[in-house]
Amino acid sequence: MDTSALRESATFDRATIRRIQQAAETGVYHIRGWGAKRPLPHFDDLLFLGASMSRYPLEGYREACGTDVVLGDRHASKPLHLDIPVTIAGMSFGALSANAKEALGRGASEAGTSTTTGDGGMTPEERGHSRHLVYQYLPSRYGMNPDDLRKADAIEVVLGQGAKPGGGGMLLGQKITERVAGMRTLPVGIDQRSPSRHPDWTGPDDLTIKIAELREITDWEKPIFVKIGASRPYYDTSLAVKAGADVVVLDGMQGGTAATQEVFIEHVGIPILAAIPMAVEALQELGVHRQVQLIVSGGIRTGADVAKALALGADAVSIGTAALIALGDNSPQFADEYEKIGSAPGFYDDFQDGRDPAGISTQDPELMARLDPIEGGRRIANYLRVLTLEAQTIARACGKSHVRNLEPEDLVALTLESAAMARVPLAGTNWIPGTEL
Amino acid sequence: MDVLEETVVDLASTPVRELNKALHEAEPGSRWRVENPRGAHNVAVGIHEDIRVTVEGHVGYFAAGMHQKGWLEIVGNAGTGLAENIMSGTVHVTGSTSQSTGATGHGGLIVVDGSTGARCGIAMKGVDIVVGGDIGHMSAFMAQAGRLVVCGDAGEALGDSIYEARIYVKGTVASLGADCIEKPMRDEHLAELGDLLAAAGRSDDPADFRRYGSARTLYHFHSHNTY
Ligand SMILES: Cc1cc2nc3c(=O)[nH]c(=O)nc-3n(C[C@H](O)[C@H](O)[C@H](O)COP(=O)(O)O)c2cc1C
């Protein structure tokens, strides 16, 4: 058969057609993991200029290029001191297996950085294997207890996530095993929904009191982070600072999730590239840029992404999806098994479904056992090292003795969109769209 | 009341931060009296020793937040989020409370002699709450476990999206929320309600109450539920 004249519709592509068919068959919307999959303006649309006649590079393998970062020294008596500006994002035990959580803790600790709990509480394995552990304080308050709060190294009040700003969480019944259910005080096997609003406060004035409460309970020791999904980052950052946050965590729309409606993932929120300059503007206007630290996430993959995020004004980045890939997610090693569940390496995003062949987003004991937490930890540490070395390589080339010294002036943009969003000039011009020439 | 040694903290002259720090370092069994709270927020939060605290006056948000042990009484009214995420122990308010009383509480007992605002017992996870008066709308929203006893009336959308918590109401219920239904009062319910009322120092007759809980139709996603 000659198929050369068959033409796929750009509007109704095959995946779209299949979604319509599935909706018609089942009456249920599509829920999946991962983050936004459509093309979006991203860090790839930016380039570093590198040193030249007017700038001195640092000697690649000789001259020091610092990577450490202090998070939360505004009000907390015990801020976090991290060796590298790449942290592991909050991913719940429940969404991830206990082995995966342990591996993340081990890897982060080896690399000198922090890891984060998630919507489901703190496990002893995770606490035990994490040198720096950030404890999430979420609307659901699953497993929330003051002992764990005091055991944490920092507290992250979660208002939203880039994959679903304004949405609550979900965890499908396949993953609500006895242990997960016990930690969340829920019946085993139900499709769990987490609320989208905190139960005991609404709005920035209440948040101010809530943050004060968390500080009071922990005797003003712990840095308090506020995590927001990128939608109105200028206002949200301003209000978080006013409410007393030590650190603002900003997650763009590419940010991963364990289970969210696809319509939410692809259509709500803004890309991290657009969000960072707005948050930085808010911090600068309030005179607290670098005093209230900014951690950004959503599609960080390489040391170039790390360097670009820092150059735009972030103090650190956070990784979720990439950490799972480093652990073995989407590995060709499991090609046959992905096929059995209707997927393939490079496409697998059914984190909600609990049948992850790599043993990461599952609570099935057999699948989980495939992930060795020690080997997993080694892989995470390796990957974090590569991200750091790559970011240092770029920073040295730009003449910076510390990655935090990267600045917007080091960047140009490849497209009009990214120039306007990142507020750096279009390559080859002095033009930043949206500003006067 | 006996005149055992009691430490008095006057919030007119002592910052809340000092009060909380002192309570965190308190000897088990010690007694405390807090005066002039004047609506301050975060009074007596994070208590984790078996101590007795009396607060003389009205308090603001999150009083007794994350209470873990011991007995705390507020002689007055309390603001939003009284005893939020309480783990165990007892918190007693002689007046009324605002919204989100006992939100996400995991255990222990909260007694409010007066009434509460909206969202009483929201997302409760094992706490017992006994309210002498009425409760506001959306109370026991997504309530997971524990028992909520209301000796007065309940506002609209009681127990919306409720999981396994049990609600007992003596007066009227303005409306039930999604998936919350009336359930029969069996002997074990009369018995547990009797115990709760007694623990709260009340003399109401369990036989005058009705019980509400989850119809469990929202436990699994399917095409006919609304989220
Ligand atoms: C499997 C998985 C589970 C997650 N669980 C949570 C969570 O419990 N709480 C939260 O705030 N964010 C959660 N997130 C979002 C991450 O914290 C982070 O914002 C996001 O993954 C960053 O984007 P990236 O995946 O592109 O690196 C989760 C993400 C993934 C992939």
Please state, in angstroms and as integers, the Cα–Cα distance from residue B82 to each residue in A349, B44, B69, B116, B134, following that order.
41, 11, 15, 10, 16
What phi, psi does A99 have (nearest 5°)? -65, -40
Name the average pLDDT for chain A: 96
Nearest CB to B17; choose among A27, A172, A216 = A216
Neighbour tally for A250: CB within 10 Å: 30
Q: How confident is the model at residue B227 (pLDDT cuts 50, 70, 90)?
A: very low
Interatomic CA distance for residues B120 and B127, integer angstroms: 12
Provide the shortest C-alpha distance from residue B203 to chain A (in Å): 31
- pLDDT at position A419 is 98
From the centroid of its chain, how far is CA A437?
A: 35
| A113 min Cα distance to partner chain B (Å) | 28
d(CA A134, ligand 1 centre) in Å:
13
Of A190, A199, A217, the CB nearest to B220: A190
Question: Quick check: B224 pLDDT over 90?
Answer: no
Contact (CB, 8 A) for B100 and B119: yes
- Per-residue pLDDT band at B111 (split at 50, 70, 90): very high
Report the alpha-carbon distance of residue B80 to residue B77 in Å, rounded: 10
pLDDT grade, residue B60 (50/70/90)? very high
**Residue B166 pLDDT more than 50?**
yes
In the predicted structure, residue B155 carries a pLDDT above the cut 70? yes
Question: A192-196, A428-432, B26-30 — which is least confidently predicted?
Answer: A192-196
Residue B158: the pLDDT is 98
- The structural domains of chain A, ordered by start, are 48-406 (3.20.20.70)
Contact A176, A190 (CB under 8 A): yes
> Nearest residue of A to residue B69 by CA position?
A146
Angle at B49 between CA B3 and CA B86, to 5 degrees: 110
Chain A partners of B87 at a C-beta cutoff of 8 Å? 145-146
Contacts of B51 (CB under 8 A, 6+ apart): B23, B26, B27, B28, B29, B30, B31, B32, B69, B70, B71
Strands A192-193 and B166-169, how do they pair? Answer: unpaired
Best CA proximity match to A118, nearest among A98, A99, A137, A145:
A137
pLDDT tens digits for B66-82?
999 999 999 999 999 99
Per-residue pLDDT tens for A122-180?
999 999 999 999 999 999 999 999 999 999 999 999 999 999 999 988 888 888 999 99
Reduce the secondary structure of chain A to three states and give it as a string: CCCCCCCCCCCCCHHHHHHHHHHHHHCCCCEEEECCCCCCCCHHHEEECCCCCCCCCCCCCCCCCECCEEECCCCCCCCEEECCCEEECECCECCECHHHHHHHHHHHHHHCCEEECCCCCCCHHHHHHCCEEEEEECCCCCCCCHHHHHHCCEEEEECCCCCCCCCCCEECHHHCCHHHHHHHCCCCCCCEECCCCCCCCCHHHHHHHHHHHHHHHCCCCCCEEEEEECCCHHHHHHHHHHCCCCEEEEECCCCCEEEEEHHHHHHCCCCHHHHHHHHHHHHHHCCCECCEEEEEECCCCCHHHHHHHHHCCCCEEEECHHHHHHHCCCCHHHHHHHHHCCCCCCCCCCHHHCCCCCCCCCCCHHHHCCCCHHHHHHHHHHHHHHHHHHHHHHHHHCCCCEHHHCCHHHEEECCHHHHHHHCCCECCCCCCCCCCC
pLDDT at B136: 98
With beta carbons less than 8 A apart as the criterion, state whether A211 and A244 touch.
yes
| pLDDT grade for B3, boundaries at 50, 70 and 90 | low
In B, what residues contact A, Cβ < 8 A?
16-17, 20-21, 24, 41-42, 45-46, 48, 60-62, 65-66, 68, 80-81, 84-85, 87, 99-100, 103-104, 106, 119, 122-123, 125-126, 141-142, 144-145, 161, 163-164, 219-224, 227
- Average pLDDT over chain B, rounded to an integer: 96
Task: Please name the residue of chain A whose CA is at the shortest distance from the CA of residue B66.
Answer: A146
Q: Is A433 a residue whose pLDDT tops 60? A: yes
Of B126, B164, B220, the CB nearest to A173: B220
Q: Tell me what the mean pLDDT of segment B95-121 comes to.
A: 98
- Binary contact (A195, B219; C-beta < 8 A): no
Q: Which of A40-44, A186-190, B171-175 has the lowest mean pLDDT?
A: A186-190
What pTM did the predictor assign? Answer: 0.96
Residues A171-204 pLDDT 10s: 888 889 999 999 999 999 998 888 999 999 999 9
Partners of residue A27 in chain B, C-beta under 8 Å: 222-224
Q: Is the Cα torsion angle A184, A185, A191, A193 positive or negative in sign?
A: negative
Nearest CA to ligand 1 atom 12: A90
Mean pLDDT value of segment A379-401: 98
Instruction: Give the residue-averaged pLDDT of B1-22.
Output: 89
**What is the spatial distance between Cα A422 and Cα A270, in angstroms, rounded to a whole number?**
13
Tens-digit pLDDT profile for residues B44-58:
999 999 999 999 999
What ipTM was predicted for this assembly? 0.96
Over the stretch A234-291, which tens digit does the pLDDT of each residue have?
999 999 999 999 999 999 999 999 999 999 999 999 999 999 999 999 999 999 999 9
User: Where exactly are the structural domains of chain B?
Assistant: 1-98
Q: What is the pLDDT of residue B1?
A: 47
